[in-house]
Amino acid sequence: MAGKSTPMMEQYHALKREAGDCLLFYRMGDFFELFFDDARTAAGVLDIALTTRGEHGGEPVPMCGVPVHSAESYLARLIRAGCRVAIAEQVETPEEAKERARREGSPVSKALVKRDIVRFVTAGTLTEEALLEPRRANVLAAVCDVRGTAGIAAVDISTGRMALEDCAPERLGAAIARLGPSEIVIPEDWPADWGERPPEAIERARGDFASDAGQQRLQEIHGVATLDGFGAFTRAMLAAAGGLVAYLDHAGRGKLPLLLPPVVRAGEAALAMDEATRTSLEIVRSQQGTREGSLIAAIDRCATGAGARQLAEDLSAPLTDAAAIEARLALVGWLHADPLMRAELREVLRALPDIGRALGRIVAGRGSPRDLGQVRDGLAEARRIRDHLQARPDRPALLDTLLPHLGGHGALVDLLQRALVPAPPTERQNGGFIAEGYDAALDELRQTSGNARRAIAAMESRYRDETGIGALKIKHNGVLGYFIEVPSKHADTLMAPDSGFTHRQTMAGAVRFNSLGLHEEAARIAEAGGHALAAEDAHFEELTEAVVERREAVAQTAAALARLDVAAGNAERAAEGDWCRPEILEDRCLEIAGGRHPVVEAALAKAGQRFVANDCRLDDTDRLWLIGGPNMGGKSTFLRQNALIVLLAQAGCFVPAASARIGLVDRLFSRVGASDNLARGRSTFMVEMVETAAILAQASERSFVILDEVGRGTSTYDGLALAWAVVEAVHETLRCRCLFATHYHELSRLAETCDALSLHHVRAREWKGDLVLLHELARGPADRSYGLAVARLAGVPDTVVGRARSVLERLEKGRAETGGLAAGLGDLPLFAAASAVEEERVDSLRESLQTLDVDALSPREALDTLYRLKQEAASTNL
């Protein structure tokens, strides 16, 4: 790179313009190099050295690079950091570049190897094993608007599963939250009234989102004249599909990944949850954004990554069809009832390769011999699982629908077993993956190559004898090929004109030679090896084509194995946690005996503590529970555990309870906890009101709602008024099942006018000045809030707690006498709390002395008690 632009720089800038805002990986030999701002960005993210190479415009050109052989690990870090990458590969060899230069009449010495962008690597278009999380789906979505309707197309290109749906614009956020896409493709003219663009959005031209073009493209991909056999797709769905496929065409430079026939996802087929509810319930990730601490982390016992991904999908979109839920529960129950069979099945599943993702790489043109081996091994094991389970009596209906998909690949498995070595390599360039005996011509080429190598070994021995140089060796490297090497002190013997050896290279302590015999044998090896590699490469293409031809059937096998793994994992989790099979009903009941929070229970178990189970019974006559009690007493946990039990049940899982009867829920809402969204200009209270408004606008009689501390983010009177009105609206208008936790004691008066409302509280008591939280739910209103006791338990200084007690007494007195909440606070002595604290300590010491049974103490206990009492007396200044 000189001061003026060089041909290579011109080529780089042309490719960079094509790459746009992507980092350009520019192939130079064994490295991908990055220049200018791309180099600065990549060096910072990857923590690698930033150097320079030549000048451009009079300034040094920043540069950094990564080795081609380890590029995947660097790509993974860049993608995780939010970068997108364009891969510019050399599309011709140096020899081909020189030949082209000769034809064009250009100087051969200045021939520049052609490069082209072969692929865009983005968060939603990953297929490489090293770039993907095994237990998490990687969804790419496209969203567009067609006459006021939102169309959504979603695909996990690592497995090819594609689904289309549409919805009203106001429900788009909930649909996107359910999918959890890594990227969202949207038209450049995003409707302003649809709110903010999703943060993962990638804009594309509006012309990409034409429904006619989307329909035609899907028909071409799947080789059909009509899409009717796949489902009834709306124009909005097809438009979104068009945008999605156009983006995949762009990212793959015309090479599409695996796309299975699209399915229609009906909105009413899944339990609806908005983004706030998913965040509150921490279904697939905690509020810190990690898997740890989430529901799926607490229940996932799947033996395979594919099963874990299917479980995440089940939990993200629980069913609303009772028959479909019962089918899943029946399979879990069947496996739960036979621990030995379940253990054997899980052992086999644990050893299975991820054939769905291996298939995805093969179809995308990024497959390896190892991927073919994984498909072979996975299909063979699937067939054995089928044969084993078919022999079992009393099979559930869902299993009978899965079993046919576990077989039917006999010819393909036989081909792959005959063609491939037992453990194929990850790289195809060096060969060695075709089994001996599959191709006689290939075996002969390998034998020729092997014989030639043995001939070279014999030649080395003969040359040693002829020259008398025992240190003579025949070696090989990638530059010289085969050569003869002797120590420098013996070089003169081989330098003689009649020696039969030709000098090639002089090293510091050795000299290298060639000979006619060695040249002939090397040529024979190279020719045989080249033909062998070409033969193996041709076989790889044939085997790949055989797998691609059966891609849909192989994908169905992968899906059936994943579903079986989910059922076995759920049965395992139920067995280890003593979970029960829920009863799914059509009426509006919710009867849970001994319910537990699966995440909290697991955390307590690790700490050696026991979770306190509680009952919940809601029906048409008692559908709204108003729950009081102290903070930290377990109200929020109780609310969430019942929502999670509903979610688990409708996902087809056993639930953490002694028994459960659950009437189908159409929408699940959770308004629990306080948070703000400063990026969108929303305070904690505004977020609370927005979420509450969504519930009041969208919940139906078949919904289940949990609400915690509505109105606590504003003034006391405003908050109480809002909470009162919300309770009335839930009771009178929504008429849904609802758990409502609050600290407003005044709300208990609503039980007098709301016939379907009942009062409950989490139990607590004070013992010797300390608050004891029982985490038990009891019927009736809470006697008080215990706020000061909780403050003391949290470590608030005694002086502050004492001061708060004095203020509280004056507040309650003023309200009783005048009806004014703050009446009488003006003359409250500033330091009155100090004497109150001292009096409390004296009372505590007096109680300790009065309850002390001196006769029951041992000498050691008496001495310890005396020291303790002396210490307490000193702290009270007695």
Annotated binding site for ATP: 629-636
What is the sign, positive or negative, of the torsion defined by CA atoms of 158, 159, 165, 170? negative
Termini Cα distance of the chain: 87
Closest to 641 in 3D by CA, of 660, 664, 619, 666: 660
Q: Which 8-state DSSP code applies to residue 394?
A: S
Measured between alpha carbons, how far is 558 from 565 in angstroms, rounded to an integer? 11
Other C-beta atoms closer than 10 Å to the C-beta of 867 total 10
CA distance 336 to 571: 5
Rg over alpha carbons for the chain, rounded to the nearest Å, is 36
Give the residue ranges of DSSP H helices in 105-210: 172-179
Binding site as annotated, residues: 629-636
The CB density around residue 715, as the number of other CB atoms within 10 Å, is 9
568 vs 396: CA distance, rounded Å: 13
Tokens (6 digits) for 154: 């979603």
In a 13 Å sphere around the CA of 34, the CA atoms on its Cβ side amount to: 30
Q: Alpha helix (H) ranges present in 20-93?
A: 36-46, 71-80
Structural contact between residues 155 and 254, judged by C-beta atoms closer than 8 angstroms: no
Alpha-carbon span 358 to 236, nearest angstrom: 32
- For the record, the structure tokens of 346 come out as 């899980």
Strands 704-708 and 737-741 come out as parallel
- Are 221 and 256 contacting, i.e. CB atoms less than 8 angstroms apart? yes
Query: How many other C-beta atoms are found inside a 10 Å radius of the C-beta of residue 112?
Result: 16
Question: What CA–CA distance (Å, rounded) separates 583 from 506?
Answer: 85
> How would you list the strands of the sheet with 659-663, edge to edge?
583-585, 659-663, 590-595, 614-618
Distances in Å between the Cα of 862 and the Cα atoms of 629, 689, 857, 859 are: 38, 58, 6, 5
Describe the crossing of helices 859-875 and 832-850 by its angle, rounded to 10 degrees.
Answer: 170
Q: How far is CA 51 from the centre of its chain?
A: 36
What is the Cα–Cα distance from 836 to 706, expressed in whole angstroms? 40
Instruction: List CB contacts of 14: < 8 A, sequence separation 6 or more.
Output: none
Q: Structure tokens of 713?
A: 């983010």
- Report CA 42 to chain centroid distance, whole Å: 24
Q: Using CA atoms in the order 283, 136, 167, 230, what is the torsion angle rounded to 10 degrees?
A: -130
Tokens of 524: 């024979």
Q: Which helix (H) or strand (E) holds 444?
A: helix 440-467
HEC secondary structure over 487-533: EHHHHHHHHCCCCCEEEEEECCCEEEEEEHHHHHHHHHHHHHHHHHH
Query: How far, in Å, CA of 442 to CA of 535, rounded?
Result: 7
Nearest to 631 by CA among 746, 762, 511, 745: 762
